[in-house]
Every structure is written in C-alpha cells, then in structure tokens.
Structure 1
Amino acid sequence: MESLSGLTAFVRAVELGSFVGAAQRLRVSPSAIGKSVARLEESLGVRLLNRSTRHLSLTEAGELFYARGRRVVQELEEAQTELLAQREAPQGRLRISSPALGYRMLVPILPEFTRRYPRIELDLDFSDRMVDVIAERMDAVIRSGDVVDSRLKARTLGSFRLVLVGAPAYFAEHGTPGTPEQLRNHACLFYRFHSSGQVQPWTFEGREGLPALELPGTLTFNNIEALIGAAISGLGIAYLPDFAVGQYLRDGQLQSILDDRLMAGGTFSLLWPGSRQPLPKLRAFVDFLAEHLVLGP
C-alpha cells in the first residue's frame, strides 16, 4: 500500500505539474506528496523527478516509470469506481446510439426497461451515420456487421435476414419475378450506406462465381425508413432486413419474393469502450437487451 500511495502521488504530481497540485487533488499536504515520492524513489533506487522551486521535470527513468505507472493508477481508480458503483442501484444518464431503424427494435421493449430501472435516464440517438463511440463520449452503440474497432468490447444481440419485398399492387401490375435474373425487368429500390457512400449489393444463393447482376436502380435512398415507404407505395422492389418489414408482411402491405434464393443477413451487436469496466447502468442495459431484444419478421 505504501508503494501504491507513492505511485499515485508521483503520477498526480507529474500530471498536475507540482506537488501542490497533487496535494490538492489527493487532499493531503504538499510535504506529504514530496515525502511519498521520495520514499518511492528510495525504494526503486533511482531519481524520478528533477525538482526546482517552480518546476518538476521527469528524469529518463521517470519517463519510463510514469508511462507504466499512469496505467496502473488508472486501472486502480476504475476498479475502485466499479466496486463503489456496485453498491448502488443502476442510475444516471446513459447515451446510446443506434441505426435509424433501431427504434423498431428498442421502442417496444423500453417500457419494461424503464419500469425495471427507473433511475436510468436514456438518451437515445437514432442515426445511420457512423458514430465514434469514444470521441463522441457515447456509453454504447448498436451496430450491424463485424466489429472492427479493437478499442471496443461487444455483445451480440441477435441476427437477421435480408428479404426482397414489394407492394401487392406493384406485383399485380408488373408481375412477380421468379428468378433473380428477372429482376432486370423491374424497378429496384436501393440503399446507399452513409459510411462508405456505396450502394448495398443484392446477393443471391446459387450465383457464386457469376458476375453481379446489373439491376436498374430506379430510386436510391440513404434512409431505410424512406426505402420502406417507397416499397409500400408501390414504387418498386426493395432489399430490406426482415425485422424492419415484419409488420408490413403480416398485414399485407408488402409481400416477399425469392425467399429461397436469399440467404444474406447479419447480426446486431452492442459495443462500448473497452478501456474501462461498464458501470452498473450500462451493464443493466446490455443484459436487458440481450434478454429481451427480438429480431426477425
């Protein structure tokens, strides 16, 4: 414990530039900080700081020790924060970002969440742009696809399939495609990804190794809600996640085609910064979504 006290005093003195600043942060006297650092230097057998009346600077050994010591102090503080938080009920503001379509997944289960955790204040951002979890200080984000950011921890929430859908009136007027190739004679409604600007490709089982189908892009959208609305309005055929159109398939506003040729899909995951342990409010949200979120048509 003496070594940890000296390490904390040393790290804070370097961060704040003086023993006085470290003393104010740790609520002890400047002389106590100086003595703790001196004892640490004595135990290590090296000088860590060059001292003057107005300035502290790191020695070569001090630079090496500070780089490692800072991480130790940070881990210790986070562990203490987590232990203290565990004694309290989950509470506080929770900032969550989700794809724009995410409200279809979340809104139906939010009443149960707010009933179970009345002290958690949810701040929900529904947007198709790629949110930087750490830079924008989000507590967590919901994303589809593979997790490629090594700074983040992840928990899989569920999987979905992609389906081709159109309005019954559209198929009554233009006919129903029986093969992927027949889609060339139909109005195709495409989705453009915000992050890359690329149009989402339509993939079909049994066409591996064949050239991609060149389909007529009648309309292209960067918003899935608009794409769904266009399909319901009879403007053409759209390629959409099954959970997003399940209600419209059930009530007859849309019908699916070529189901036996479509195998593409994906997963949704909840991601949060991996540099720290999740606080109880985030852990409660993660566990709740994993338990209650239902995808599929």
Structure 2
Amino acid sequence: MDNLGSMSAFVEAAEARSFTAAGRQLGVSASAIGKAIARLEERVGVRLFHRSTRTITLTPEGALFLERCRRILGELEAAEMELAQIREAPRGRLRVSLPLVGVVMMPAVCAFMRAYPEVQLDLDFSDRLVDVIGEGFDAVVRAGEVADSRLMSRVLGEFHLMLVAAPAYLARRGVPKTPKELSAHACLHHRYATSGKFEPWPLRGGQGGTLPTAAIANTIEPLIHMAEQGLGIACLPDSAIRRQLADGTLRSVLDDHVRHAGLLRLLWPSSRHPSPKVRAFVDFMAENLFPPVAARRRRG
C-alpha cells in the first residue's frame, strides 16, 4: 500500500508540477510529498524529477514511469468502481429492443421483471437494424453475427428453423416425403419486415424450388396460428413453437431435408463497467431464455 501511496503522490506532483499543489490535493504537506517521491526514486533506482527552487519537471524516465503509474491507478479505480456497482441493486429504466418474434421471449422477460422489480422495462419490438448507441438502447436482442465494434455481445442460445404443420392438415393433405412434394401443399411464408423479401426455407441444396404461397405474414405469430388451424405448412424457429411441438398441435416434416442453425445474441454498448441493470438483464436472459431441455438438445 505504501507503493500505491507513493505512486499517487508522484502522479499528482507530475500533473501539478508542484509538491505543494500535490500535497493540497492529497491532504498532506509538501514535505510529505517530497519524502514519498524520494522513497519511490530510491526503490526504482532512477531520478523521476528535475528539481529547482521554484519548479519540478519530469525526467525522461519519469515521463515513462508516469504513464505506467496512471494505468495502474486507473485499474485500481476501475476495480473499486466495479465492486461498488456489484453492491448497488439493479434499478431504473432499461430500454430493450427485441425482434418481432420477441413475444416468445416474454416468459423469460416476465421472470426478469419479477426478479428485479426496481427495473422498469421499456420494450421496443422491431426487426429493423437499430442503432443501439444512437437511439439510446441499453440492450438489443438479435439473431446473426455482430459487426459493430462499439458493442459487446453474449450468445443467448441456438435456434433451428423447422417445417411444421398440424396433424389434421397432414391427415387431409398427406405428409410430404421429399421437398419436391411441397409444390402440392399450402405453404405459409414469413416476409422480412425490413426488406420485404421472403425468408427462404432452409432445404438442403435448395431442393424445394419455387414454393407455392397460401399466406404471407411479416411476423411469425400469425403463421403459428394458421399452422395450428390446419391451413398449411410453415417454416418456424423451434424456440417459438416449443409448446406446440410438446403437446402435438404441430408436427415437424422433412426433418432429414432441413438444415439450419442460428444464434440469438444480446448486444449492449461496450463499457468496462456496464450498469447493474444491464449486467443483471444480460446474465438473467442468458441463464433463463432457453430451458434446460432445449439446452440439452443443442449440446446433443
């Protein structure tokens, strides 16, 4: 600790170019500053200051040492801030952007609200590429890769697109055995809200060709409902239809011909010390968004 005290005295004196001013800043005498720096010079074995009766100036060795000391003291201050933030309870407004399919994340979001009642969530549902920093978002959930170096990211989990239909539909129209047979089926398509393009179905080698269109929607909730009502085959993320797959209201088809894996990420502005509310949201969503059964399936 005496080393840190001497470093603090050295940095203050170097920045103020005065032992007296450094002493006032640290609440000690100019003589105490001078003695601390003398001990430091003896320990490191070089002269850090040129001294005259009126001024002090750094030696070349002192200038080099100053940068090191600033970094060391900065890291110490950062560590203290980090510990202080850990003690502080998450609270305040948290502005989060979720994709339009974010409704499937609501169980985890609601659980977060119950766990952190002092955090007020401000949720924005959109598939557009938001400017996280420019638009003032604290966190953003999106699929795909991250290209913005200003952002930190954490993978929340993996999802897979599946072709699904209701048992009643399959009983009425038949179960397709090959992608080519989809040409005889009612296909329910998702169109990207941002580009207006259809989301392609992940059939190996594009085997399906041009697929017929029974309905189009720019969010997946209507597609889920139409598929459950037996109106056609839809291509949907498994994370959005866990309940339907579990209770049998939807069945997957052409599993051997579908290949897809996507990553869901949580992004937030890069900072050495994220606020307690951001850190709590990131950790909670990473631990609770995907249930253990899905996690085991992903590892398997």
With normalisation by structure 2, the TM-score equals 0.67
255-264 or 128-137, which moves further after superposition?
A: 128-137
Which residue number in structure 2 is paired with residue 51 of structure 1?
none
Unmatched segments (≥5 aa) in structure 1:
7-41, 45-71
* 1:99 to 2:95 alignment: no
Distance 1:128 1:164 in 2: 22
Q: Map 1:55-204; keep pairs closer than 5 Å.
A: 79=78, 84-105=84-105, 107-204=106-203
The residue type paired with residue 171 of structure 1 is: L
Q: CA deviation at 1:127?
A: 2.8
Distance 1:123 1:4 in 2: 44
For 1:267-295, what per-residue CA distance to the aligned partner results, in whole angstroms no more than 9, with x for missing partners? 11100112563111111111111122216
Q: CA deviation at 1:124?
A: 2.1
Which of 231, 237, 242 matches 2:233?
Answer: 237
State the identity as a percent: 51
Distance 1:129 1:113 in 2: 25
Q: Tell me the number of residue pairs that the alignment of Structure 1 and Structure 2 aligns.
A: 228
Distance 1:189 1:293 in 2: 27
C-alpha contact 1:130 1:194 (8 A) present in aligned 2: no
Q: CA deviation at 1:81?
A: 6.4
C-alpha contact 1:82 1:279 (8 A) present in aligned 2: no
The residue type paired with residue 103 of structure 1 is: V
C-alpha contact 2:109 2:285 (8 A) present in aligned 1: no
The residue type paired with residue 99 of structure 2 is: P
- For residue 160 of structure 2, give the secondary structure of its aligned residue in structure 1: strand
For 1:149-186, what per-residue CA distance to the aligned partner results, in whole angstroms no more than 9, with x for missing partners? 22211000100111101122222221110011111111
Distance 2:284 2:210 in 1: 43
Distance 1:115 1:192 in 2: 34
C-alpha contact 1:161 1:264 (8 A) present in aligned 2: yes
Q: Kindly tell me: are residues 110 and 4 of structure 1, through their superposed partners in 2, closer, same or farther at Cα, counting changes over 3 Å?
A: farther
- For residue 248 of structure 1, give the secondary structure of its aligned residue in structure 2: helix
With normalisation by structure 1, the TM-score equals 0.68
C-alpha contact 2:177 2:254 (8 A) present in aligned 1: yes
- For residue 269 of structure 1, give the secondary structure of its aligned residue in structure 2: strand
Unmatched segments (≥5 aa) in structure 2:
1-10, 18-55, 59-70
C-alpha contact 1:128 1:223 (8 A) present in aligned 2: no
Q: Kindly tell me: are residues 211 and 117 of structure 1, through their superposed partners in 2, closer, same or farther at Cα, counting changes over 3 Å?
A: closer
The residue type paired with residue 88 of structure 2 is: E
Distance 1:90 1:246 in 2: 31
Name which one, 1 or 2, has greater alpha-carbon Rg: 2
Q: Kindly tell me: are residues 112 and 167 of structure 1, through their superposed partners in 2, closer, same or farther at Cα, counting changes over 3 Å?
A: closer
Q: Kindly tell me: are residues 132 and 212 of structure 1, through their superposed partners in 2, closer, same or farther at Cα, counting changes over 3 Å?
A: farther
238-247 or 122-131, which moves further after superposition?
A: 122-131
C-alpha contact 2:98 2:125 (8 A) present in aligned 1: yes
